[in-house]
Amino acid sequence: MLASQQPSNNNNNSNNNNNNNNSQNVASSSFLPINGPTSNSSSSILSSPLTSTTTTTTTSTSSNNNISNLLNPTNSIFNNGFKDYIDSKRFSDVKLIYGSKMYDTHRIILAYSSEFFKRLLSSEFREASQAVITLRQPDPYNIFPQVLSFMYDGRVWMSPDNVVPLLAMADHYLIHALQSLCNKYLDTNLNRESVVSILRTSISFHFDFIIDKCIGIIAKNFPYICEQQQLFKSNNNNNNNNSNNNSNTNNNSHNNSTENLNNNDFDLMFLPSSIFITLLKHPYLVVKNEYTLYQIVINFIKYKQQEQQQQTDNTTNNNNNNNNNTPNETNNNNNCIIDNNNINELMSHIRYIWMTYDQLIEISSNPLVPRDILIETFMERLKKYESSSSTSSTISNIPLLSVTNTINNNNNHTDQQQNNTDSTNNNNNNNNFNKYPITNTRFLPRPPQSIPFEYNHDFDQKGILYWIATNCYREKWANPHTSLRIKITSSSIDKGNLQDVVELAPFEFWTKDVPASWVTIDLGPNRSVIPMCYTIRHGLSFKSDSLRTWDFQGSTNGEQWTVLKRHTNDSSLNLKYATHTWNIPNVTAAYRYFRILQTGKNSNNRNFLVIGGIELYGELLQSNNVINNDNTTTTKSPIKWIQE
């Protein structure tokens, strides 16, 4: 998608709205699409402010062309920035050698675009007088030609594959305009479609803050991403042969690992073990089911073991390719290292208690599953069974003896295998019990898969409350408060009814003239939201008594509140039934309750809290399971709010 940064015009809103669903390809709301493809690709040509004036001039109406040319008679020279000069090599006064290529460049352009070159070409450095300068910064993705072109014309083609390498080179050469464009692109285009590509390059360049964002997105969209990366397909193929291979898996596991390595189906297998563990530990990790997660972890371990063996073989055979590794390839080689501690840690984050009995029997024969976690799981299952049984005789129907024998045989097999390799590891594993203390986390259900709701325009019927009111868009809109799908409360009521706060059409509602007035939304015990932005409508047919100073807060229990956004003397609402939307950046926690707390007086210096509509956008987490105080779960309706 072609985009250029320029001042907003009358077409700004329409262009942004039309392209809102196309993977949010524009890096900022001030970027306007011009003459580009309309596909769903996340690739964009972005421009720095260097070219914005030019674009504005060239898109002026014919009546203003003469005035523009008069004010800027050299306008045609700069239509493409200075790109013509690097292509034609005219007036070049310094050559840059990067790898095997030489570029004819201009000192003034380099110094203007890059703080690095500005310092390098100053009189304090010897390069200031050199006609040829050699640059030695590694460039495994061959990004430098694009960066150099950007320094001349302020435009660059960005995609999920190259945005992180561009950012890394912009950071190194202190090209602030390019840094800003890269960060805006990431803010807009880092989503579940692009996250794997961006994570791969972020690991190569050690961008920890991007890695953390990517892990969060993958965790909340894990089933979707696994299906996209064909993980489930490969796992199902392996599962078909599980029952026949339990007793003799060594050769088949080796063959399967080789096949997986060569098929390149496992795009998440590039992750280092430490990052994969971080993913498994993520509090919002969503899984199809625990047995599927178990299969993915087993395949990850086998893949890493096979990759590690190949690396060892290559080293032993003095493979010539190792002498030509790029920095990225070296990282991948380091990432394949996996040891017993990594394996135990990976396996410990599977919540085995949510597997079926047959699945537990099957996995109990796998020596990779920690014995103490299996016993913990069986004991917890037995505890729940005993608490629900009316007679003790029924308990004998659970064949725990066969399970225990399987575990013991598995331990004997593991001990024998370890005796053949390392007696020290054997001694450690004999004392491995209680290495993973019993924790309630492994007994809790996983969070539900998140449903993203992206803002288009105020009250666009694409928000979370509208989705709830229409029963997932399946029914005609009904007020979600009166239909008991959510619950509205307020500190007091002076005008209107509680349901007016979430009506589609504007209604008048306000509290009494009391300091610290508030309105709260309770989404119900089986819903929570990670908010990204929210919309408010002024609840009066006059602009008077508009909100000015307030806090937008979130809570998980309705008692302790977190300030998500603080407003002080905010005059955004200044008309009758005026609406406005505010972004809520850097929120990663999910909340069931949301509250508007007026912390100062309104526009008429009074304490009436006037509000005639509200909408939420972000990630909705909705589940049929509600966790009780005793860590048991109760299935409740995902549709209606339940009075507790």
pLDDT of the residue at 337:
64
Q: Which residue shows structure tokens 């709701």?
A: 453
pLDDT of the residue at 575:
92
Q: Please state, in angstroms and rounded to a whole number, the distance separating the CA atoms of residues 12 and 21.
A: 16
* pLDDT tens string 73-101: 344 444 566 877 777 778 888 888 888 88
More confident residue, 16 or 34: 16
CB 129 within 8 A of CB 91: no
pLDDT of the residue at 3:
35
Please compute the mean of the pLDDT values over residues 17-29 and round it to a whole number.
37
Q: Please state, in angstroms and rounded to a whole number, the distance separating the CA atoms of residues 506 and 494.
A: 17
Region of residue 461 (left: phi > 0; alpha: psi -120 to 50; beta: else): left
Q: Which of 283-292, 352-361, 563-572 has the highest mean pLDDT?
A: 563-572
CB 447 within 8 A of CB 528: no
Across the beta sheet with 487-490, the strand order is 487-490, 518-522, 593-598, 550-555, 562-567
Question: Of 119-133, 241-255, 512-526, which range is least confident?
Answer: 241-255
Crossing angle of the two packed helices 290-316 and 340-348, in degrees rounded to 10: 170
pLDDT of the residue at 626:
45
What percent of the chain is predicted at pLDDT more than 70?
66
pLDDT of the residue at 225:
83
Query: Dihedrals φ, ψ of 563, to 5°?
Result: -75, 115
* pLDDT tens string 386-433: 776 544 444 334 444 444 444 455 444 444 444 444 444 444 444 443
pLDDT grade for 345, boundaries at 50, 70 and 90: confident
* pLDDT tens string 449-461: 788 898 999 999 9
* 596: three-class secondary structure by DSSP: strand
What pTM does this model have? 0.64
pLDDT of the residue at 443:
79
Question: Of 141-145, 180-184, 241-245, 567-571, which range is least confident?
Answer: 241-245
| Confidence check: pLDDT of 581 > 70 | yes
Mean pLDDT for the chain overall: 74
More confident residue, 264 or 222: 222
| Confidence check: pLDDT of 18 > 80 | no
| Confidence check: pLDDT of 384 > 90 | no
Please compute the mean of the pLDDT values over residues 185-200 and round it to a whole number.
90
Which of 182, 213, 211 lies closest to 270, judged by CA?
Answer: 211
Q: Please state, in angstroms and rounded to a whole number, the distance separating the CA atoms of residues 544 and 439.
A: 55
| Confidence check: pLDDT of 569 > 90 | yes
| Confidence check: pLDDT of 152 > 80 | yes
pLDDT of the residue at 388:
65
| Confidence check: pLDDT of 33 > 80 | no
Q: Does the domain spanning 82-189 belong to CATH 3.40.50.300?
A: no
CB 182 within 8 A of CB 163: yes
Question: Of 18-22, 100-104, 271-275, 278-282, which range is least confident?
Answer: 18-22
Q: Please give the C-alpha separations between residue 440 and each of 172, 180, 374, 387, 416, in angstroms, as whole numbers.
A: 46, 43, 14, 18, 33
Q: Please state, in angstroms and rounded to a whole number, the distance separating the CA atoms of residues 151 and 98.
A: 16
Please compute the mean of the pLDDT values over residues 440-455 and round it to a whole number.
81
CB 181 within 8 A of CB 158: yes
pLDDT of the residue at 595:
97
pLDDT grade for 380, boundaries at 50, 70 and 90: confident
pLDDT of the residue at 122:
81
Residue 164 token pair:
């992180």
Domain boundaries, the chain: 82-189, 203-234+268-309+339-373+441-447, 450-622
pLDDT of the residue at 318:
59
* pLDDT tens string 474-526: 999 999 999 999 999 999 999 999 999 999 999 999 999 999 999 999 999 98
Q: Choose which CATH entry (3.30.230.10, 2.60.120.260, 3.40.50.720, 3.40.50.880) describes domain 450-622.
A: 2.60.120.260
Q: Please state, in angstroms and rounded to a whole number, the distance separating the CA atoms of residues 141 and 458.
A: 41
Q: What DSSP letter does each residue of 156-181 carry, written as one string?
A: EEE-TTTHHHHHHHHHHTT-HHHHHH
pLDDT grade for 534, boundaries at 50, 70 and 90: very high
pLDDT grade for 627, boundaries at 50, 70 and 90: very low
| Confidence check: pLDDT of 382 > 50 | yes
pLDDT of the residue at 256:
41
Please compute the mean of the pLDDT values over residues 337-363 and round it to a whole number.
86
Which of 579, 614, 585 lies closest to 486, judged by CA?
Answer: 614
Q: Give the count of beta carbons closer than 10 Å to the beta carbon of residue 29.
A: 12
pLDDT of the residue at 342:
82
The 8-class DSSP code of residue 443 comes to G
Which of 195, 144, 200, 196 lies closest to 328, judged by CA?
Answer: 200
